[in-house]
Amino acid sequence: MAILPLTGCGPTRLDVRPTIPPLLMQPMPLSMGVRIPKSFSEYVQKEKTQEREWVITLGPGQADAVRTVTAAMFAHTVPFGDQAPGDAQAIAANKLNGILETTLDSYVYLLPSAGGADFYSATIGYKVNLHAADGTLLGSWVYEGYGSAPSRGLSDAKGVTRVTALAIRDACANIAAHLPDQELVRNLLEPPKPTAPEAPGTAPEPATGNGADAGVSPAPTSKPDTTPTPSVNPPAVTAAPEESSPAPTTEAQPSTGTGS
């Protein structure tokens, strides 16, 4: 992480250059365009208060960080700047699966305050747009990064520069860790196949059930012979009176409602 505060007469100038370590990840087998517009690669934040005037250059450092991270994320990357007439030819020649465009969504920093926080901090957010090869916007996500450092031994210029570089590094790490898991990105590996519509006029298959289901009348069956057969009357037997069983009683179930 390079800390380059430029001081002298006039405003305090900070040039933030984060150091991105090698990413230990398996590149996705995709050819991706990486669009970094000038509004991102040349971004400078200017602030003027009663106490100070600062000019913070973020563009070159954050653009290099995004290039480093995307080169590790994908098997092949092609850099693009602002949209230009020759983009379509480059996209076709490289057979790109899609294009990623990164823009600055937010950036804030905080200084130590008397009786408050005794550290410097910064938060930065990057909006990542995923475009199809034909330029159609497929999806957008915002990835944030945070950096902090104790104030001891640091001037305001060095403190803000350090925590801003850490925030850029953290945001890029979040892009590398989470963007490949997005469904829209993974669909580029193998686009979903559309379901083939059913051909019109297709006759339904004949039923294979029993005769009634298939529309075949079942074969008639012979009726049983109901003619009574004469029998010999058995001797009369006097049946003993049956004992009546007492009727079962039903116990009242306790009430399950709440008491009044």
Asked, for residue 208, whether it belongs to a domain, the answer is no
Asked, for residue 249, whether it belongs to a domain, the answer is no
* Domain extent for 71: 2-16+29-186
Asked, for residue 12, whether it belongs to a domain, the answer is yes
Condensed to tens digits (0 to 9), the pLDDT of residues 10-20 reads: 889 999 999 99
Amino acid 117: pLDDT: 80
Highest mean pLDDT pick, 23-27, 202-206, 208-212 = 23-27
Q: In the predicted model, is pLDDT for residue 172 greater than 90?
A: yes
Amino acid 141: pLDDT: 98
Measure the CA–CA gap between 168 and 51, rounded to whole angstroms: 26
Amino acid 9: pLDDT: 62
Q: Which residue has the tokens 């992480």?
A: 1
DSSP sequence for 121-138? EEEEEEEEEEEETTS-EE
Name the residue among 151, 127, 153 with its Cα closest to residue 140: 127
Condensed to tens digits (0 to 9), the pLDDT of residues 176-194 reads: 999 999 999 999 987 666 6
* Integer CA distances (angstroms), 178 to 73, 88, 145, 184, 210, in order: 11, 28, 13, 12, 57
Total domains present in the chain: 1
Lowest mean pLDDT among 29-43, 94-108, 223-237: 223-237
Amino acid 205: pLDDT: 55
Asked, for residue 195, whether it belongs to a domain, the answer is no
Q: In the predicted model, is pLDDT for residue 151 greater than 60?
A: yes
Q: What percent of the chain has pLDDT over 90?
A: 62
Name the residue among 88, 143, 154 with its Cα closest to residue 120: 154
Measure the CA–CA gap between 132 and 214, rounded to whole angstroms: 52
Asked, for residue 180, whether it belongs to a domain, the answer is yes
Amino acid 10: pLDDT: 82
Q: In the predicted model, is pLDDT for residue 233 greater than 50?
A: no
Asked, for residue 89, whether it belongs to a domain, the answer is yes
Q: What percent of the chain has pLDDT over 70?
A: 70
- Phi/psi of residue 246, each to 5°? -65, 145
Asked, for residue 122, whether it belongs to a domain, the answer is yes
Asked, for residue 109, whether it belongs to a domain, the answer is yes
CATH at residue 180: 3.30.160.150
Q: Is the pTM of this model over 0.75?
A: no
Measure the CA–CA gap between 69 and 175, rounded to whole angstroms: 8
Amino acid 52: pLDDT: 84
Measure the CA–CA gap between 19 and 243, rounded to whole angstroms: 101
